[in-house]
């Protein structure tokens, strides 16, 4: 499993690196933000009001960013890389996608997760996105399914 995860991560990051030559990179180098995440249902409880804080930084002069996040939801902590693409001008429309290593509450293990975020604004931005842990686990009815996907809505300051 670790070998597959390493190979998949290498493939995704290589693809992201190749795309950087065609992308309009985020013009600023750092961001901090706060999010409300949901809807997530775990053990019959709705976790729609869970919160998280995060920060990110540009890697060199590329549109690749590293980020870390901590929160009260299903994904207690995560860190990873994302490709951030933005429109040019004073008002930005940005999209980012990447791969994270996420510490999940239910398994108490680090699992791979896909993340995507869409942003609107200037240096203060409204962010909407999703996190999709790729872990498979048994549900109450005995089937195996993707679990703990969460949506996010937040604000970020980009500098």
Domains detected in the chain: 2-158 (2.40.160.20)
For the stretch 28-41, pLDDT in tens is 899 999 999 876 55
The residues, any chain, with a CB within 8 Å of residue 114's CB and separated by 6 or more, are: 97, 98, 99, 100, 131, 132, 134
pLDDT digits (tens, 9 = 90+) for 72-107: 867 788 999 999 988 878 888 999 999 999 887 777
Kindly report, residue by residue over 41-59, the tens digit of the pLDDT: 555 555 566 899 999 999 9
Q: What is the pLDDT of residue 22?
A: 44
Confidence of residue 147 (pLDDT cuts 50, 70, 90): low
pLDDT > 80? residue 61:
yes
Q: What tens digit of pLDDT does each residue of 118-136 get?
A: 999 999 999 999 888 777 6
Instruction: Give how far Cα 27 sits from Cα of 64, 84, 93, 106, 147, Å.
Output: 12, 10, 12, 37, 35
């Amino acid at each position: 499993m670790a070998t597959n995860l390493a190979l998949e991560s290498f493939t995704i990051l290589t693809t992201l690196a190749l795309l950087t030559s065609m992308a309009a990179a985020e013009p600023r180098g750092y961001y901090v933000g706060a999010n409300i995440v949901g809807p997530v249902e775990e053990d019959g409880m709705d976790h729609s009001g869970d919160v998280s804080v995060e920060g990110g930084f540009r890697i060199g002069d590329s549109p690749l960013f590293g980020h870390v996040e901590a929160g009260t939801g299903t994904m207690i902590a995560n860190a990873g890389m994302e490709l951030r693409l933005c429109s040019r001008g004073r008002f930005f429309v940005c999209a980012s996608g990447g791969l994270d290593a996420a510490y999940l509450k239910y398994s108490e293990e680090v699992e791979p997760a896909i993340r995507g975020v869409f942003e609107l604004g200037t240096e203060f931005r409204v962010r909407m996105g999703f996190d999709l842990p790729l872990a498979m686990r048994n549900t109450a009815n005995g089937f195996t399914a993707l679990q703990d996907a969460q949506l996010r809505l937040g604000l970020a300051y980009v500098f």
